[in-house]
Amino acid sequence: MGLLKNIFRGGATTATAAPPLAVANDGQPRRFDTWAIVDVMGHQRYVGKVTEQVVSGCGFVRVDIPATSDQPAWTKLIGTGSIYAITPVSKEIAVTLAQRSGVAPVQPYQLQPERKSLLVECDDKVDDDFDDEHF
């Protein structure tokens, strides 16, 4: 906890700084591959190893969230249009924030047993009282 307090108060920390995001020595753009905080529309935040991934010809930001004491590691693909900030951080900071974030992977949808009574059963019978002569 002391590490994060120092970081957010602008104090010194023993954590290593995130690598620079410039170009490689040969002048080619470096592949984005760093630990970061990704802020997404809807007040969502994901923390982990951030890379790029193409799915069906479209670019996504891939966040590999590290395992925590509460859940195994998981991956989130995020469309670039929904991202409003990416903050590179050290691995140490990312792992600490991931542990505290409480963000969980999407779970399969399961209808609660008490909600099943709200479903209306569909009847295949046709309502003969409907007057369609005017159509």
The count of C-alpha atoms lying within 13 angstroms of the C-alpha of 40, restricted to the half-sphere facing its C-beta, is: 18
On whether the pTM is more than 0.75, the answer is: no
Residue 115 three-state SS: helix
Which domains, ranges and CATH numbers included, belong to the chain?
Answer: 28-104 (2.30.30)
For residue 38, pLDDT beyond 80: yes
Conformation bin of residue 53: beta by default, left when phi > 0, alpha when psi is -120 to 50: beta
Residue 2, SS3 per DSSP = helix
Q: In this model, does residue 42 exceed pLDDT 90? A: no
Query: Model confidence over 70-107: pLDDT tens digits?
Result: 888 999 999 999 999 999 999 999 999 998 887 877 65
